Amino acid sequence: MTSISSMTRRMALAALLIAAATSPTSAKGVPKNGDAIPEATLRDEEGREVSLRSLVDGKPTVLVFYRGGWCPFCTQHLKELAGIVKPLEDAGVQVLAISMDRPEKLVATPGRDALGYRLFSDSDAASAKAFGIDFIVDDATVEKYKGYGIDLDGASGRDHHILPHPAVFVCDATGTLRLVEVNPDYKVRVPAATILKAALDAAKPAS
């Protein structure tokens, strides 16, 4: 049975996480269906820089933005997405998951070996800003996070305190967006079935 103290601890952390989900700081808005994916530079798990557009070029793609491996809601969503990797791969669709975690932290993501898709670091927040989904966690909340074992600076290797709102973008082989889902509430995630349907539709040849 869950103790009252542990329940209180989780409720307090949840309140902090919600309080931190402020409005995006980007000057750019979130792209819409029909827009081309923005360009940004990411780093892979080995720390090598790679262009987002080069990753997507010619491949229907599911882009998943998550807060970091320290977020249990994120790791649960990543695990759920692993369940649709096979039908997506059969249809020629790739899954790329992007967070503020530095490359070393990507490798240490809980359940990493069972995901079946690639993780990328956006520790400079270039991609989150390009997609208009970035927000800044205030200093007081950053300090409170540390009391729960969450070190944003340590996770990203940066001190900007920027996180992405959890988001899913699905694009076709031309890089044109076919699904855009962003929610400031970190607890609300796009169901895997919704992503699968949108991605399979995006993979169909243009009529």
Known catalytic residues? 74
Quick one: tokens of 49?
């820089």
Could you report how far apart the first and last alpha carbons of the chain are, in Å?
56
Task: Compute how many other C-beta atoms are within 10 angstroms of the C-beta atom of residue 182.
Answer: 18
- C-beta of residue 78 within 8 angstroms of C-beta of residue 64: yes
Q: Enumerate the H helices of 43-188 as residue ranges.
A: 52-56, 72-82, 85-90, 103-107, 126-130, 139-146, 152-156
CA distance 71 to 58: 32
DSSP 3-state of 41: strand
